[in-house]
Amino acid sequence: MNHHRQELIYLVGFMGAGKSSVGVILAQQMGWPFIDLDTVIEAGQGATIRQIFEQAGEPSFRQLEHAALAEIVRKAPAVIALGGGTFVQKANFNLIRQTRGATIWLDCPFEELWQRCSMMDNRPLFRDRQTFLELYEQRLPHYRQAEFRIAAGGRSPEEIVQEILQLGLF
């Protein structure tokens, strides 16, 4: 277990909250590499997240996700965009906490998440509105355990990055 804070920023939040868009800009501003967990998983498998869900199922995806996370937490300094379900898994939560990096929840209202995800077709857990809402509500208590919360509704990635930089984390 590491007792000092590592130069890691984890962006937490539901699908469509802007974790990747914010992460790219934040990393540029920090002068740190940006790592997108979903992209690391896809590169490692040579398959899209959707294909992994379809061919191997969600439990297998969660195992791959945990293994990929365990690799990238060693890459400080970095800004890391988690997947929407990453922080919810106890093993990931514990691993993240052990690194003592900063966890930032991009809190975006449900309607906006729904609108944004409706425009894209790359999310296996995006189906109908009701199941999307149930998943969102089920995950809120987990996201609330992030150290910092940024209101991400109706705001551009640039504005959100400015607010994160003002936290003066590193």
Q: Convert 26-47 to b/e letters by CB count within 10 Å (16 or more is b).
A: bbeebebebbbbbebbbeebeb
Number of C-beta neighbours around residue 70 at 10 A: 12
Residue 11 forms beta bridges with which residues? 81, 104
Determine which residue in the list 84, 96, 136, 143 makes contact with ligand S3P, applying CB under 6 A: 84
Q: Can residue 83 be called a binding residue for ligand S3P (CB under 6 A)?
A: yes
94: how many CB neighbours lie within 10 A of its CB?
9
Q: Which is nearer to ligand S3P, 123 or 149 (CB)?
A: 123
By CB under 6 A, tell whether 78 contacts ligand S3P. no
Binding span for ligand S3P by CB under 6 A among 66-74, 78-86, 108-116, 141-149: 78-86
Among 9, 27, 38, 152, binds ligand S3P (CB under 6 A): 38
C-alpha distances out from residue 72 to 14, 92, 100, Å: 20, 12, 14
Q: In what order do the strands lie in the sheet with 34-36?
A: 34-36, 78-81, 8-12, 102-107, 148-151
Nearer to ligand S3P, 124 or 170 (CB): 124
- Identify which of residues 14 and 32 has a Cβ nearer to ligand S3P in the complex: 14
CB of 2 or CB of 54, closer to ligand S3P: 54
Report if residue 96 touches ligand S3P, rule: CB under 6 A: no
Residues interacting with ligand S3P, by CB under 6 A? 15, 19, 38, 49, 83-85, 123-125
